[in-house]
Amino acid sequence: MVLLAPRHHHHRLLLESSLPLVIPLLSVMDVSKWSLFYLLSAQELATVRQACVFGTTANEAIYITHGNEVFVFGLNCSSCLGTGDGLSTVMPKKLDFLRGKKVASLSYGSGPHVLLATDDGQLFAWGHNGYSQLGNGSTNPGLSPVLITANLQNKKVKEVSCGSHHSMALTLDGEVFAWGYNNCGQIGSGSTANQPYPRKVTGCLQGKNASGITCGQTSSMALVDNGEVYGWGYNGNGQLGIGNNGNQLTPCRVAALQGMCIQQIVSGYGHCLALTDKGLLYAWGANTYGQLGTGTKSNHLSPVHIMADKERVVEVAACHSTHTSAAKTQSGQVFMWGQCRGQSIVLPHLTHLTNTDDVFACFATPSVMWRLMSMEQDDFLTVAEALRKEFDSPETADLKFSVDGKYIHVHKAVLKIRCEHFRSMFRSQWTEDQQEVIEIGQFSYPVYRSFLQFLYTDTVDLSPEDAIGLLDLATSYCENRLKRLCQQIIKRGITVENAFTLLSAAIRYDAEDLEEFCFRFCINHLTRVTQTEAFWQVDGAMLKEFISKASRCGAFKN
C-alpha cells in the first residue's frame, strides 16, 4: 500500500494567537498531590482512572478503577462513603452498585451527600439527607448508594451538581431538575419549601435546552446552549449576577451577559466565574477573599470582566465549598486567586502549576477537588513516554522523512505499532534495499513533524495556525484520535474573523462535531460574522446551505 494521496489541499489559517497549544489526548493528573492518596499502595494507584476528594475537611475520597470498580476511603462523615455504615476507613472499600458501568459525572455537598451519574444516564445518591437532598422522598441518611428514579423515568442524566444541601441534575434532552434544601429558593420552584424528589425547573428555563449546571452553597445556575446564563436561589452577595442582592425563587436570566456566548460557568461558595466562547472571563458575587480577581474585596452584583490583560482563557475552576478561583490560559499558564492557604489574593496570580486541579490540591481550604478528576491513559502511553526522548533522534532512527527540505528521524517499528497507515504501507511495499527516506510534499514541515511526534508522545504541540493542516492530515490518514485533538485546538482558536473559514474546513473534512461548534459560533455572532471577508469568499452552494440552516434555527427572527 502506498502513501495515501490526501483528498484536500493544505490550508494555513492565522488564528487569534500563534502561541503553542499543548493538548494531551487524555490528561494524566497526579493524585498524590492530595495527601489522602498516600494511603494507597503503588499498585492501587496504578488502577485509578477517576478520583474525587471531598468533605468539609477534604478527608473523604472516591475513586474508580480502569475496570469500573468503585472504591471509597476516609472519615465517612454522615455516611458519605456509602459503605452501609458510619465507620471511617483508611483501607479502600469497594462499592458494588456500579456493576461495570462508567461514571459520567459526580458531585458532592457539604453534609456531605454525593450524586453520581453513569454513562447510561442512571442517577445514584448517598450520604447526608437531612433536607431530602438525595431525592428519594425521605430524610433518612443514605448509608448506601440508591438509584433515584422519581420524576426521572425515561430520562437520562448526564451531569450532576450539589450545593450545600440541595441537588441538581441535567438530562440528556437539556432539562434541569432540582431537589433538597430550599430555604432561599435554590430549587427554583417558586417557594421556599424543601423538595423531597427531583423537580423539573421551569419558569424562564421552560423550552430552553440547558447545557450545563453549577451550584453555589445555596444558589443554582444553569447554562443554556445559546450561551445564556440563568440563576436562582440565594443572592445576598450578588452571586446570581442580576444586578441586585435579592433572592430569586425562580430562574432569572443574567441580563448583563446579553450578547455574549458563555461556554463554561462555575460556582464558588458565594461567587461565580463565566467563560465566553471568545476566551473572556467574567466574575460576580462575594469577594471577601478577593475571589473575583478584581483587585479589591468589594462584592459585585453584576458580571465584571477580569484578566483582560491576559491571553485567552480556556478553563475556569471554582468549587462551592471554597473561596478559591483558578483559570488556565491558551498557552497552559495557570492562575489562582481568592483564598489561597489562608491568604487573600485579590488579583489573578501566575503559578508554576500545570492544571487548575493542582490549585485546589495545594492552596484551597479545604483542599477538595473542584471536579471529578480523570487520569485515563491508554496502555501504550508508557511506551510513548519511554520513547519520547528518541523522537527525531538521528542516533537511533532507521527511517527519515524529508519535508520542506528538512529531515524528521523516526523508527519504523514505532510507526507500525502506532499507526495503521504506516503498518499497511511497510507490510505491502517496503523492502530492505529501498532508500530509507520518504519525501512528503503535500504537508508543511510543522504539520508533518507534529503528526509524527503525536505517534511518539500522544500529545500535540502545534500552534493553532497549523491546526487546519493537521486536521487535513488526520482526515487523510484516518487518524480519528488526532482528528479530535485538532478540533479542540481549532475550537480554542475560533474568532469572529475566522469562524466561517473554520466552518468551511469542518464541512470539507467531515468533522461533524467541529462543524456544529463553528455553526453555533457563527449563529451567536451572526451580524459580525456576515461582515467578514471570509463569509463572502465561500462558494454559493455553501452560503445557501448556511442561510437555510440558520433560518431553520430561527436566526433571522425579529
Residue spans per domain, the chain: 383-553
Alpha-carbon span 467 to 483, nearest angstrom: 10
Mean pLDDT on 493-506: 88
Quick: pLDDT tens for 378-405: 443 455 567 788 899 999 999 999 999 9
pLDDT at 487: 85
**What sign for the dihedral angle of Cα 62, 67, 69, 72?**
negative
Q: Residue holding cell 474568532?
A: 495
Alpha-carbon span 450 to 89, nearest angstrom: 47
If 0-12 CB within 10 Å is exposed, 13-18 middle and 19+ buried, where does residue 154 land?
A: exposed
**What sign for the dihedral angle of Cα 317, 322, 325, 326?**
negative
Alpha-carbon span 304 to 300, nearest angstrom: 7
Alpha-carbon span 409 to 407, nearest angstrom: 6
Cα 200 off chain centre by? 25
Exposure on the CB side of residue 366, measured as CA atoms within 13 A: 16
The candidate with the shortest Cα–Cα distance to 176, out of 227, 223, 111, 127, is 223
Task: Give the chain's mean pLDDT.
Answer: 89
Alpha-carbon span 37 to 41, nearest angstrom: 9
Q: H-type helices in 123-240, by residue range?
A: none
Most confident range (mean pLDDT) of 28-37, 63-72, 371-380 is: 63-72
pLDDT at 68: 92
pLDDT at 424: 87
Grid cell, residue 553, equals 434555527
> What is the topology classification, in CATH, of domain 383-553?
Potassium Channel Kv1.1; Chain A (3.30.710)
Whole-model pTM? 0.71
The candidate with the shortest Cα–Cα distance to 371, out of 45, 104, 76, is 104
Q: Which residues contact 222 (CB under 8 A, 6 or more apart)?
A: 170, 176, 201, 205, 210, 212, 213, 229, 230, 231, 251
What is the gyration radius of the CA atoms in the chain, in angstroms?
Answer: 25
Quick: pLDDT tens for 12-40: 333 333 333 333 333 334 788 999 999 99
Mean pLDDT on 498-504: 88
Mean pLDDT on 447-473: 85
pLDDT value at 102 more than 60? yes
Residues forming beta bridges with residue 50, ordered by sequence position: 64, 374
Q: Residue holding cell 452571586?
A: 239
The candidate with the shortest Cα–Cα distance to 501, out of 4, 13, 7, 168, is 13
pLDDT value at 493 more than 90? no
Instruction: Give the pLDDT band of residue 529 (cuts 50, 70, 90).
Output: very high
Q: State whether residue 470 is helix, strand or coil.
A: helix
Q: State whether residue 401 is helix, strand or coil.
A: strand
pLDDT value at 9 more than 50? no
Strand 157-162, strand 399-403: pairing: unpaired
Kindly give the interhelix angle for 499-508 and 480-492, rounded to the nearest 10 degrees.
Answer: 170
φ/ψ of 334, rounded to 5, equals -115, 125
Mean pLDDT on 470-477: 88
Alpha-carbon span 76 to 53, nearest angstrom: 12
Instruction: Give the pLDDT band of residue 531 (cuts 50, 70, 90).
Output: very high
Mean pLDDT on 431-450: 80
Quick: pLDDT tens for 400-421: 999 999 999 999 999 999 999 8
Residues forming beta bridges with residue 95, ordered by sequence position: 70
Strand 113-118, strand 313-317: pairing: unpaired
Alpha-carbon span 283 to 264, nearest angstrom: 12
Exposure on the CB side of residue 484, measured as CA atoms within 13 A: 7
pLDDT value at 72 more than 70? yes
pLDDT value at 161 more than 60? yes
SS3 per-residue string spanning 85-112:
CCCCEEEEEEECCCCCCCEEEEEECCCC
Q: State whether residue 269 is helix, strand or coil.
A: coil
Alpha-carbon span 182 to 248, nearest angstrom: 11
Quick: pLDDT tens for 180-208: 999 999 999 999 999 999 999 999 999 99
Mean pLDDT on 344-369: 96
What H or E segment, with its residue span, contains residue 316? strand 313-317
For 96-216, strand residue ranges (E) read 103-108, 113-118, 123-127, 142-147, 157-162, 166-171, 176-180, 195-200, 210-215
φ/ψ of 47, rounded to 5, equals -85, -10
If 0-12 CB within 10 Å is exposed, 13-18 middle and 19+ buried, where does residue 440 land?
A: middle
Q: Exposure string (b/e) for 488-507, b if CB count within 10 Å is 16 or more?
A: bbbbbbbbbbbbbbbbbbbb
